[in-house]
Every structure is written in structure tokens, then in C-alpha cells.
Amino acid sequence: MEPQVQRVSGSEVPSGATHYAVEIEGLGHAFTCRAGDSLLAAMVARGLRGIPVGCRGGGCGVCKVEVFDGRYAALKMSVDHVSAEDQAQHRVLACRIVPHSDLQVRVIGQMANTVRRLIDGASQAERSGGRNGLPNQS
């Protein structure tokens, strides 16, 4: 099935699910986000890394991601970090979106290259049998 992305109104009631699975491209695993929580808050609450964490309130722009599958509601975002074109292309701030379905995202903010290096390093360590430096998933 082709990935589909849909931005919904912030007042739309989620599907009734209590949790959604969120996958960050390249990490190879998903984590759960409680319905109503922001994507970034859910990741932080589980002690995970993958999306850079800054102000957690839409002010710094480091948590920028592109949603490439799933439905989400977006809270107001500063045009300093997210243009109208960004929003149309589902490039948003992880601290300002609330999943309304399972989501797949990729990190695209100013620290995206750093995240990619961490993921590549973790994958290499995993292949060689060492610790991967990323937290355990449970």
C-alpha cells in the first residue's frame, strides 16, 4: 500500500485508539505515542533518541521532521521554522504535532546529518556485535 499523509484539524477527535506506533526512518524500530501526546514528548517520555530535542515548544526548530505516512494534527508553528510550503509538504515540528494514526517520519532539521551519523554508527556497532549506543527498546 502506498504511504499516505493527512493533516487533520486540531479539533478532530482521534480514531479511538489509545496509542499509535511511530517509526523514525533509519532507526529500524517503532515506539508508541499515547493519543493526545506530541510526537516529541512521546519519544522523550520513553527515553529514546532519534529526533533532536530543543525547546519542546516550537521555538528552536531543531525537531523538524517530514511525515511520510500517517495522520496528524498540527499545533500552530512559527513561520521562522516551518513555511507554508513546508506545511503543505508535511514538514513540521515534532514537538507541535499530535499523531492521529500510526506515523512514519524522517528527521530533516538542521541536525539531521548528526542524527544520520549516529544511526549509521549504531548500525555498524550492531553489525559488529557491539553495543549500539541507542537505548534499549521495550
SS3 52: coil
134, 43, 50, 107: CA torsion to nearest 10: 170
As a residue count, the chain comes to: 138
Q: Which helix (H) or strand (E) holds 44?
A: helix 39-45
Asked if residue 62 binds ligand FES (CB under 6 A), the reply is yes
- Could you please report the per-residue DSSP string of 60-122? S-TTEEEEEEEEEEE----TTT--HHHHHTTEEEGGGEEESS-EEEEE-STTHHHHHHHHHHH
- HSE-CB at 86 with a 13 A cutoff on CA atoms is 17
Asked if residue 59 binds ligand FES (CB under 6 A), the reply is yes
Candidates 24, 92, 95, 115; binder of ligand FES (CB under 6 A) is 95
Applying CB under 6 A, what is the total number of residues that bind ligand FES? 13
Residue closer to ligand FES (CB basis): 65 or 118? 65
Candidates 24-32, 41-49, 56-64, 67-75; binding stretch for ligand FES (CB under 6 A): 56-64
Residue closer to ligand FES (CB basis): 110 or 124? 110
Distance CA 121, CA 65 (A): 21
Asked if residue 54 binds ligand FES (CB under 6 A), the reply is yes
Least gap, CB of 103 to ligand FES (angstroms)? 16
Asked if residue 48 binds ligand FES (CB under 6 A), the reply is no
Asked if residue 112 binds ligand FES (CB under 6 A), the reply is no
Asked if residue 63 binds ligand FES (CB under 6 A), the reply is yes
Sites of contact with ligand FES (CB under 6 A): 40, 53-56, 58-63, 93, 95
